[in-house]
Amino acid sequence: CLDVCPAVPPIIWQWQTCQSANSLHCWPLCLLPNMVNYAPGDLVFVPDEEKAFCAGKILTIDAAASKAEVDVLRGAPQTLPLSELRLRFEREDGATAQDATSLVFMSDATILENLQKRHAKDEIYTYTASVLLAVNPYKDIRGLYSDDQCARYKGKHIGALPPHPYAIADAAYRALVREKKNQGLLISGESGAGKTETAKIVMHFLAFASGSAGSRADNIQARVLRAQPILESMGNAATMRNSNSSRFGKYNRVFFDEQGALVDAGITTYLLESSRVVTHGDRERNYHCFYELLRGVEEAKLREWNLERDRKYRLLSSCNGQQLEGFETRDRINFKRMCDALRTVGLDEESIDNMLRVLAGLIHLGDLELDEGSSSEESSSSDDGVEVVDDSVQAASKLLGLDEDQLRRRLTHKRVAVPGRTSFHEVARSRSQFRHALQSFIKAIYKRLFDRTVQRINDCFRDQRTPSSPEEAYNHIGILDIYGFENLARNSFEQLCINLANERLQQYFVENVLRAEQELYNREGLPWTGLPLPDAQPVFQAIGQTFKTLDEYSQNLTRGVGNATDKTFCKKVLEEAAKDPLRKEVLKQIKMTGNAARRSTNGPGLDEGFIIKHYAGSVQYNTEGWLDKNNDRLLAECEELICESSDPLVQSLGEEETNGKGPLFRSISKKYSKDLEALLETLSTCNLHYIRCFKPNEEQKPDSFSPRMVLDQLVQCGTIELVKIMHDGYPNRCPFEEITTRFRSLLPESFQRYGMRTFVEALMMAYEVPENQWALGMSRLFLKAGQLHALEEMRSEGSSLSSEKLQEIVRAIVRRRWIRAGHAIRLCNYLPRFMNGIYTRRARNSLSQVATLSSRLLPRLLAARKRVADRHVAVRHRFVRAVHAITLSKDLFRKIQQKRRDHWVAEWQKSVTLIVQAKRWLKRARRTIMEIEHKRELELKREEERLAEAARKAKEAQEQFELDKKRWEEEAAAKLEAAKQEAEAAKKKEEEERKNFLEQERQKMMEEMAEERRKFMAQMEEQRQAMDEERRRQTIRSQASPQRTGSLAMSAGEEARHRVTSPTGTSITETQELDLGDSASVAATSTTKHLEDTVRRMMIEREAKDKELLEKMAKIEEENRTLRQQVEQDRHQRYMPNFTPPQNQNPSPIPLDHQLSFTPEQLEARKSKTSKQPKQRPSMVSSRGSLGCGNRDKDKRRSVTTEALLKGWDRDNMKYSKTKRFHEEQRHFLLEDIYQHDLSSSDSRPTAQQGRNLAAEFNTTEEPELEQGPATRMR
């Protein structure tokens, strides 16, 4: 119908086409996907649980039951419903389709088969019209990415070369330069599908395509490419699904000028997974930068930062303390690459070291907590708080520029506001509270350091920007690399945010690609059956309401309002979802499948999570810790630590709003939702290009393809619907004006006189494009996949048409014109008759309606006229009454005015009289007031004189008091001076006595040494005489018999040698030339010196010990004096508050000069008394310092401690009495040390009675014999 009469409106054409019985045969078969006719012998795909689909062949068909018997290859025959079968086409050459829309049969099985075959050939890229499908090979493919490949794809249309990300990037770049409109590349897929690598490939091509117009462009290109390693090191981590998974979303924008030169760039990040910094699962790692720091930094810096290369740190280990291995070489290489990239973006060596030092400090912070059940000498705790490792605290505080004591105190204690006051009270944190504060502190520092690094990268681009060219003046190409859909073993708040972003982007893809395609076909008048598209609005509403409830409960938790916990939040979310009919189908409660089995696992309970049905499948979320994770505000104590840091970098990471000055709660979910809306709004301004990345296997192995896994990804990302629309529809569409302009050279100039629509028809007929491969809309030409590429090749080759073909085209055009003209004439003739009939029917209907209404309305019209006349009469009567009323009112008003005038005159006269009288009264009142003021001044003057007299008397009394006070002070000073002189005299006397005693002792020792020397000399003299006698005898014998004399002399010499020895024990032989007398004198001299040295050393040691004991006793006496003064003050304040006691110079009951003073005679008497005591069982000295131990007879034999407690008991001042008793016991202990030598020299140890007697002697303050000084202790 459209070919016959193009003037028919599209909606009429569609209605006529749908109602025509003979028009179905004109539709292409591919536009009727549900009308598939199977026949025996057809090749089909059969569903399979493991391989997704298996090849088969139909044997028989049961049309009544809609089932078929299929011979499955490598399996037994099966009977399956026809709806589960997919047609299969085998190509003998084994070739694959570069574009999925060009497949013979369009289904999920054929798409999957095509991707698997291409993956086996290392052809990892496949088109779906303008959408690129990329399968991660997990290996390097040689020659696939290089500058030569960039040059090959530059300027080529999509489809001219094999599929490649370079082609998509080139299409976006050429569209930006040609159309001057922003472009966007959406790279999506699961974690591990290769999104990050694909984004880097696209960035590399854009940098190559823009060329280098100068040094500024070269710098921007280098920084754009170098920024990726920095973001990978700080934002990527190894997960169970991907060894380089992006744990944040980023939107890279590359700006180009009108000529296509690179002029600027920028990076926007979304939702860094900060929880990974403090905890991660098994077979996973923390962010790469920590491991790269330990592997790449030099040994000197490691020692400076107290780090070890092979040590397992808690921050870098999983929950079970294990670390993934096999990344050492890559970490070392990536560390150098990261440092080079930081230098490229403008950081100097000092800034890089500062950033690495902060990372090292975070590693030490991770080891801050001491393991439960373990204790260490290097750990410390305060006030029953959590024990921390001192080495880690010291290292972390040093690297981060924090105060060590403040770091320990603020992490182990929390501040609690005192009601009604501005002060705070510190309370020790529990282990869980300490762990939460520490983890929040680490996460905040790392997240802010990451944001600061991204900001520094953006600043380096701004440094290259020209001042006169703002960012808005350029068009940009945006590359969105965002986290893929996640369904982990434990899904938390971060996974919900990630899946929300994927849900919104998927819906954006559906709305802007799939739905736009269908609307375009309907708008252009093309036949289209339509496809059911998914609607994610219930999911958005469920997640949005969950975020609102989460914000409410998080805010209540920070304020301490209500019962805000994770469990109550989960219950509230489930209750609200159950009330909404749409949300209750999306958000559901967790189902408990078995009590015993369920409780044995670590899964969440009924009130600890919920299930949300996403487009990619249902995900179970655990709500534990969501209230804390949703709050972006750091604890006030930890925020103060960052702001008070001495390190400039750490201090710059702090926020000014601390100590409760800012809001206590800052929602992460609200900020993330706003950023996501802003991202979608930015994408709406761009012409989008899509790259879908797929993960071929779970193990991330090369040359491995899991069909079931890839099929799930194809269905989840909407690729099947996209391919179906592109295959059934027209992926290439061009406006008539563009086609006419671009392909004008393919037809002769004579065809240019035709209209654009006729020219396009002639072009399609000239190059014999099949009629089912193109269609004309209202404003553009629609082409099947590959047809536009064929036209472009013809245009580039410059092919020409024969004259016969041109004449046939002209005849066809003329014939179509005549046919259309005839149809137009018939339509024009039919339309007036049709319109006249419409007008006649419309006039007939109007006349009949008017007649009916007139017959029904006439009685009512007459009644209405009567009512109107009655109303007019009533109105006239009311008007007359109103005129009379007005006249009467005027007369009354005139009379009232006259009365008011007379009343005002009378009142005025009264007022004048009153004013005259008031003036007289005021005059008399002023005179009276002046007299009263004069009297008051006189009284004030007399009062001042009395006050001056009183002040004079007070001054005299004060002067007299000052004189008395001065006299009292002089008397007190004189008394004090006299007391000092007496003390100095006593001290001088004691020193003299001590010197005399030492001199006497020295003389005694010298006399003893002289006596010993005399005895030794006498012994030596006797020996010498004996030897002389022996010589004389030998001389006589030698004279008598020479031979016998010689033998006797030798024997006598031997005997003398055995009898005579030197003082040192050396024998005197015949060869010694030393005289025996001289030897004796030398020995005596050496012995004397030895004794003198021994005595001198003993005296020095004794003096040192005396000095140490005196210092201890003086310290104890000073503390006793202080305690006694406090007791006296307390007693006087309690019983005599107005009485000031005199100051006692020595309040101790035992004076310091007397405590250690005793004479040698007293010591000897005590020795003899002790030696006469019978031997008793030795007793141990008590721990409280007493000389006796517990005995059976408690009444007769008490310990010194018990007696001291009984003497020092004070019921009114128990606190001071206990302290007093403690110092007295310490004094007794020192006294025991004094007499230890004397007691140990006796036959037995001192008994308890001896200890009590000795303590009683030293506790007595009035003994006259203890005034000889400490000199006697020398013995």
CB atoms within 10 A of CB 430: 12
d(CA 154, CA 207): 12
Give the mean pLDDT of 1230-1237: 55
* Residue 593 clears pLDDT 70, i.e. is over it: no
To the nearest whole percent, how much of the chain has pLDDT over 90? 12
Which residues touch 101 (CB under 8 Å, ≥6 apart)? 127, 128, 129, 723, 726, 727, 731, 784, 785
Whether 162 contacts 720, CB under 8 Å: no
Least confident of 233-237, 595-599, 1113-1117, 1133-1137: 595-599
Query: How sure is the predictor about 126, in pLDDT bands with cuts at 50, 70 and 90?
Result: very high
Cα-based torsion angle of the residue sequence 766, 770, 773, 779 in order, rounded to the nearest 10 degrees: 40
Least confident of 121-125, 483-487, 928-932: 483-487
Greater pLDDT, 781 or 729:
781
**End-to-end Cα separation, the chain, in angstroms:** 138
| Sequence-ordered strand ranges (E) for 721-770 | 732-735
Nearest to 495 by CA among 338, 664, 607, 616: 616
Give the mean pLDDT of 962-980: 85
d(CA 1057, CA 1136): 91
Give the mean pLDDT of 480-485: 77
Give the pLDDT confidence score for residue 328 in this predicted structure: 87
* Residue 289 clears pLDDT 90, i.e. is over it: yes
What tokens were used for 529? 């059956």
Which residues touch 513 (CB under 8 Å, ≥6 apart)? 688, 690, 722
pTM above 0.85, yes or no: no
Q: Report the mean per-residue pLDDT for the chain.
A: 76
Nearest to 157 by CA among 143, 142, 144, 173: 173
Greater pLDDT, 424 or 1060:
424
The residue assigned the tokens 């973001």 is: 231
DSSP-derived secondary structure letter, 78: E
Greater pLDDT, 732 or 348:
348
d(CA 1064, CA 1082): 11
Give the mean pLDDT of 1109-1120: 79
Give the pLDDT confidence score for residue 741 in this predicted structure: 74
d(CA 983, CA 989): 10
* Residue 1061 clears pLDDT 50, i.e. is over it: no
Give the pLDDT confidence score for residue 433 in this predicted structure: 83
* Residue 1075 clears pLDDT 70, i.e. is over it: no
Nearest to 228 by CA among 97, 334, 384, 304: 334
* Residue 1048 clears pLDDT 60, i.e. is over it: no
* Residue 209 clears pLDDT 60, i.e. is over it: yes
Phi-psi domain of 530 (left: phi exceeds 0; alpha: psi -120 through 50; beta: other):
left
What is the Cβ-side half-sphere exposure of residue 1234, based on CA atoms within 13 angstroms?
Answer: 26
The amino acid present at 1238, given as its one-letter code, is: D
Least confident of 523-537, 984-998, 1025-1039: 523-537
* Residue 357 clears pLDDT 90, i.e. is over it: yes
What is the Cβ-side half-sphere exposure of residue 1121, based on CA atoms within 13 angstroms?
Answer: 15
Greater pLDDT, 811 or 1050:
811
Dihedral sign (CA 528, 531, 537, 543): negative
* Residue 68 clears pLDDT 80, i.e. is over it: yes
To the nearest whole percent, how much of the chain has pLDDT over 70? 73
Q: Is 1258 exposed, middle or buried (0-12, 13-18, 19+ CB in 10 A)?
A: buried
* Residue 57 clears pLDDT 70, i.e. is over it: yes
What phi, psi does 555 have (nearest 5°)?
-70, -40
DSSP-derived secondary structure letter, 332: H
Which residues touch 783 (CB under 8 Å, ≥6 apart)? 730, 731, 732, 733, 734, 769, 773, 774
| Strand (E) or helix (H) holding 263 | strand 262-270
d(CA 1095, CA 1089): 10
d(CA 1134, CA 306): 60
Query: How sure is the predictor about 1072, in pLDDT bands with cuts at 50, 70 and 90?
Result: very low
Give the mean pLDDT of 716-740: 70
Least confident of 549-558, 799-808, 889-898, 1203-1212: 1203-1212
Concatenate the DSSP letters of all residues of 108-131 into one string: HHHHHHHHHHHHHTT--EEEETTE
Give the pLDDT confidence score for residue 1275 in this predicted structure: 34
What tokens were used for 124? 């990892």
Give the pLDDT confidence score for residue 1220 in this predicted structure: 63
Whether 190 contacts 485, CB under 8 Å: yes
Least confident of 626-640, 981-995, 1041-1055: 1041-1055
* Residue 737 clears pLDDT 80, i.e. is over it: no
pLDDT in tens, 818-838: 888 888 899 899 989 999 999
**Cα 669 from chain centroid (whole Å):** 15
Whether 458 contacts 471, CB under 8 Å: no
Dihedral sign (CA 973, 976, 982, 984): negative
- The number of residues making up the chain comes to 1275
Query: How sure is the predictor about 1114, in pLDDT bands with cuts at 50, 70 and 90?
Result: confident
Whether 1146 contacts 1121, CB under 8 Å: yes
| Strand (E) or helix (H) holding 187 | strand 183-188
Max avg pLDDT among 158-167, 532-541, 1152-1161, 1163-1172: 158-167
Give the mean pLDDT of 695-712: 88
Greater pLDDT, 1194 or 298:
298
- Across the strands, what pairs with 692? 133, 188
Q: Is 589 exposed, middle or buried (0-12, 13-18, 19+ CB in 10 A)?
A: middle
d(CA 1016, CA 21): 153
Which residues touch 462 (CB under 8 Å, ≥6 apart)? 264
d(CA 1019, CA 1025): 10
Query: How sure is the predictor about 399, in pLDDT bands with cuts at 50, 70 and 90?
Result: very high
Least confident of 462-476, 852-866, 941-955: 462-476
Give the pLDDT confidence score for residue 800 in this predicted structure: 64
Greater pLDDT, 467 or 229:
229
pLDDT in tens, 630-650: 887 778 888 888 888 899 998
Give the mean pLDDT of 10-27: 30
DSSP-derived secondary structure letter, 130: T
Give the mean pLDDT of 608-613: 90
Give, in degrees to the nearest 5, the angle at Cα 836 between 5 and 4. Answer: 5
Give the pLDDT confidence score for residue 580 in this predicted structure: 87
* Residue 194 clears pLDDT 50, i.e. is over it: yes
* Residue 1230 clears pLDDT 80, i.e. is over it: no
Give the pLDDT confidence score for residue 418 in this predicted structure: 65
For 252, the 3-state DSSP assignment is strand
Give the pLDDT confidence score for residue 1218 in this predicted structure: 60
* Residue 778 clears pLDDT 90, i.e. is over it: no
Give the mean pLDDT of 959-973: 86
Give the pLDDT confidence score for residue 364 in this predicted structure: 92
Nearest to 491 by CA among 411, 388, 603, 396: 603
Whether 191 contacts 483, CB under 8 Å: yes
Dihedral sign (CA 251, 255, 260, 261): negative
Least confident of 104-108, 440-444, 650-654, 711-715: 104-108
* Residue 50 clears pLDDT 90, i.e. is over it: no
Phi-psi domain of 498 (left: phi exceeds 0; alpha: psi -120 through 50; beta: other):
alpha
Greater pLDDT, 1149 or 1123:
1123
* Residue 296 clears pLDDT 70, i.e. is over it: yes
Which residues touch 1072 (CB under 8 Å, ≥6 apart)? none
Nearest to 474 by CA among 627, 266, 288: 266
Give the mean pLDDT of 259-285: 84
DSSP-derived secondary structure letter, 511: I
The amino acid present at 1172, given as its one-letter code, is: K
Give the pLDDT confidence score for residue 360 in this predicted structure: 93
d(CA 228, CA 349): 20
Query: How sure is the predictor about 621, in pLDDT bands with cuts at 50, 70 and 90?
Result: very high
- Strands 687-694 and 183-188, bridge-based pairing: parallel
Concatenate the DSSP letters of all residues of 534-559 into one string: ---HHHHHHHHHHHHHHHHHHHHHHH
Nearest to 358 by CA among 400, 409, 329, 397: 400
Least confident of 82-91, 471-480, 638-647, 658-667: 658-667
Greater pLDDT, 455 or 16:
455
Give the pLDDT confidence score for residue 24 in this predicted structure: 28
Which residues touch 1186 (CB under 8 Å, ≥6 apart)? 1199, 1200, 1201, 1202, 1204, 1225, 1228, 1251, 1255
Query: How sure is the predictor about 27, in pLDDT bands with cuts at 50, 70 and 90?
Result: very low
d(CA 1222, CA 1226): 6
Query: How sure is the predictor about 153, in pLDDT bands with cuts at 50, 70 and 90?
Result: very high
Query: How sure is the predictor about 435, in pLDDT bands with cuts at 50, 70 and 90?
Result: confident
pLDDT in tens, 748-766: 766 766 777 777 777 777 7
Give the mean pLDDT of 352-374: 85
Query: How sure is the predictor about 1243, in pLDDT bands with cuts at 50, 70 and 90?
Result: very low
